[in-house]
Structure 1
Amino acid sequence: MAENKEDSAAIDIEGLVYYSIKAQMSQDLFTSPNCCIFKTPTRLLELNEKAYVPDAYSIGPFHHGHPKFEETEKIKIKYLKGFISRSPSPETMLRDLINSVKHVEREARECYAGPIGYTPDEFITILVIDGCFIIELLRKSACKKAIEHNDPLFTTASMFGSLSRDLMLLENQVPWMVLERLFNLTGDLTGNNVNASLIELVKYFVSSDLWIKLPSVHPPIQEMKHILDVIRKLMVSSIEAGERQIDWTPLPSATSLVEAGVKIRSGESIKFDNGVLDIPPLVIHEKKNPSFGILSVLNNATQIVNLGSLPMLCS
């Protein structure tokens, strides 16, 4: 009798272990090929977490719901209300926006690395509010007369500075397919004679408000993933255009020089003597140009998931 109980207990434990392992095996353990919005690597967060996490504005699902973003969530809702209020039927427009994103909810979810702990309805809500907020922001940036006198984003330097920085974070992105759907659906609601395309609005905002120099003329940008990806591809396209116009041989990277036996040290000017290369240090202020590190992370991430064979901005 005792043996039967022991056998039964062993079978029960075996069954629990079996179903536990099977449940883990049923999970999607690999990054989707459509993934384009990544979590910052732990090693970078350990070095300087503040450089890679939003300070005041949460965009997308990764940081949504944090208590420190409660006040700026109100600003996003205000932007959404102002945006749809220009429609003849705001209620209908809001429903159309929701349904439009609902059609690509699954694809949008696959754009994010790792599981998203929100129901489809919750996820759609985040994308609609954040996506419309970004589009309204871009339109106001392109048409300053559309800015209300009490708009805190454009009248308070510190708030706009925080927003500009947070919009450039890798974890703080909305899929381009979502932005395009919302933008195309609301193309007639500008009310300010802003007839530019979405990518033109992004270029204007980045060039004028973020002070990042982008090419005025560029080849068509293919397979846009999100705003940060568009900026990266625009920057790369200008580099490629310059390479086609100038016959030059790219300089070897610092790594390849060291591997070849060259010693590199900090100096006041560029000088090479007896196998020693002196180079002045490059100082990058995170407050002035936080995009440098973010774009570097994006470069590495796109190479890992093979989103395209674009050249690296730095090596």
Structure 2
Amino acid sequence: MNQDQAAPAFGFEGDYNLRISRIYKFPAGLRALGTRYIEPMLVAIGPYHRHLPHLQGMEQVKRLATDHFVNQVEPTREELYAAVLHVAGTARLLYGYGIIPPAPAAAAGAAPPRAPSGDAHQQAPAQEQQQQAPPAAAQHGNNPPPPMGDVEFADMLFHDACLLLQYIRVRMLNTGPPSLAHLFYSKRSVINNDIMLLENQLPWLVLSSLINLTGHVPVTRFIVRLASVFHARRGLGVEQGFELGDYRPGHLLALLRFHMKGDMTRQVDMLVNTPNQISVSFNAIGLEEIGIKLKVSDGNMFADMRINKRSLLPGRKLVLPPMLLGNVSVTCLVNMAALEVCTGISFVDNNTVVCSYVGILAMLMHREDDVHQLRAMHLVQGELTDRETLDLFTSLGKHLPSGERYVSILESIEEYKLGNWLWIAVHRFFYLYFTKIATFFAAIGSIAGVFKAFELIVVKKHQ
């Protein structure tokens, strides 16, 4: 395929239609969060960061993993490589033709690429020559990577895809040599972090081309296990996979988001009349004050986020899924939100549910005491301190689109305030002064008890 001819055909309409499958750069508005959410720490997947010096050590591991993967499946190396080569032209477009241009030496009459040799040790020197002297500007993740020829690009896709699939097989099926299994298990947190970065993705069409040839690879089961880093309540049994139906993810990060968003057919209580003004100055204590009780959802999906009417009282329940905040889960959360910024349409609930969740939590956090209150309710848990949690959500929330579910929940709260002002006034009075009222009546009871005792003493004296 001649890349020079393919690029113009992609066009504006093609770019729009393939926006879900694109491998995006991290949004400029979120880069202030830090490079830990952008650059991989151990392994580069795809072309965006493969030139970084600290990632070169894993290139040899990729070739070893490829050898073991090829030896454990039925198709030959040539058949697997041909499947990747068949989709390599489309994959280059998914990374952005202007971002990953062909190398100048890639002429139209160049020899067709061949499957890389199975000897990983012989491949290493050639790889070192390709990686030896990247341009100075390419040493930083904010700059575009150096151009790649068709052969180099196809080799990268092949080895990265084999690494990912072999990693999943080792983690889920306990297969593979002990040395590779030890590396994967000892580095699993870092690898899980890296393969869920927005800029460190491999197009799903590349992975699926190998999965279709090799048979079952438990990708969805792996995603379920990876999603468990968000949950304090973890199951003890074997993870069950899930069906994709008609959905085709753009990459593994999109597949994780698809799983974690849950059933979006569950609706928030919608409004009859939308309020003209919406207040966003709530925190956890402020909501309790006006009769809206925070409740941890029974499920762990973003679709479990909703506001419901209470069964007996006029108040409301704001139901939120719990969040266990650790290094991997925070990285996944930030990058899923970044993916929605790149692909989502703010008025479509299904496209911005992660942004809505982050927005609601950010709305509830104004001070460290608010985070402590949410932690006491088991809404947020994990290794991050109250200050780190507050900084994360306030910084992230102000750079994300509001999201349809976020707006619907705020509108529901505002409608509740307008339609139940008398109940709210009574509830606020007792909420704020219940302790003082209880103390007052307790004091009255004590005084009454003293007078009663005095009366008994007087009566006994007169007897």
With the length of structure 2 as denominator, give the TM-score of the two structures. 0.49
1:226 aligns with 2:251: yes
Asked if the contact 1:57/1:72 (under 8 Å) is kept, the reply is yes
Spell out, residue by residue over 1:52-108, the C-alpha distance to the aligned partner (whole angstroms, 9 max, x if none).
Answer: 2211110011111221111111111110011223467xxx82222222222112211
1:263 aligns with 2:314: no
User: For the structure 1 residues 260 and 283, does the alpha-carbon distance in structure 2 shift closer, same or farther, using more than 3 Å as the test?
Assistant: same
Shift of 1:306: 12
User: For the structure 1 residues 124 and 72, does the alpha-carbon distance in structure 2 shift closer, same or farther, using more than 3 Å as the test?
Assistant: same
Partner-residue secondary structure (3-state), 2:46: coil
Spell out, residue by residue over 1:133-182, the C-alpha distance to the aligned partner (whole angstroms, 9 max, x if none).
Answer: 111111112212545256343342xx211101001111111111110111
Which position in structure 2 is the counterpart of 1:169?
197
Asked if the contact 2:221/2:242 (under 8 Å) is kept, the reply is no
Aligned equivalents of 1:250, 1:306: Cα separation in 2: 15
By relative contact order (CA 8 Å, sep 6+), the higher-ranking structure is 1
The structure with more radius of gyration: 2
Partner-residue secondary structure (3-state), 1:211: helix
Structure 2 counterpart of 1:98, from 81, 86, 91: 81
Structure 2 counterpart of 1:57, from 24, 43, 49: 43
Aligned equivalents of 1:306, 1:172: Cα separation in 2: 28
Shift of 1:112: 1.4
Partner-residue secondary structure (3-state), 2:254: helix
Aligned equivalents of 2:83, 2:342: Cα separation in 1: 29
Which position in structure 2 is the counterpart of 1:301?
342
Alignment of 1:81-160 (within 5 A): 81-86=67-72, 93-113=76-96, 114-116=98-100, 117-146=147-176, 148-149=178-179, 151-156=181-186, 159-160=187-188
1:205 aligns with 2:218: no
Partner-residue secondary structure (3-state), 2:51: coil
Alignment of 1:15-34 (within 5 A): 32-33=15-16, 34=18
Aligned equivalents of 1:129, 1:217: Cα separation in 2: 27
Spell out, residue by residue over 1:262-296, the C-alpha distance to the aligned partner (whole angstroms, 9 max, x if none).
Answer: 5334x55742449xx9x99x987451412111111
Read off the aligned partner of 1:97 and give its amino acid letter.
L
Point out where structure 1 has 5 or more consecutive residues left out of the alignment: 1-25, 188-196
Deviates more, 1:206-215 or 1:111-120: 206-215
Read off the aligned partner of 2:32 and give its amino acid letter.
E
Asked if the contact 2:23/2:199 (under 8 Å) is kept, the reply is yes
Partner-residue secondary structure (3-state), 1:222: coil
User: For the structure 1 residues 232 and 155, does the alpha-carbon distance in structure 2 shift closer, same or farther, using more than 3 Å as the test?
Assistant: closer
Q: CA RMSD in A?
A: 3.8
1:287 aligns with 2:327: yes
Aligned positions, number: 261
With the length of structure 1 as denominator, give the TM-score of the two structures. 0.69
Partner-residue secondary structure (3-state), 1:239: coil
Deviates more, 1:144-153 or 1:175-184: 144-153
Asked if the contact 1:302/1:308 (under 8 Å) is kept, the reply is no
1:80 aligns with 2:104: no
Partner-residue secondary structure (3-state), 1:55: coil
Structure 1 counterpart of 2:263, from 224, 239, 244: 239
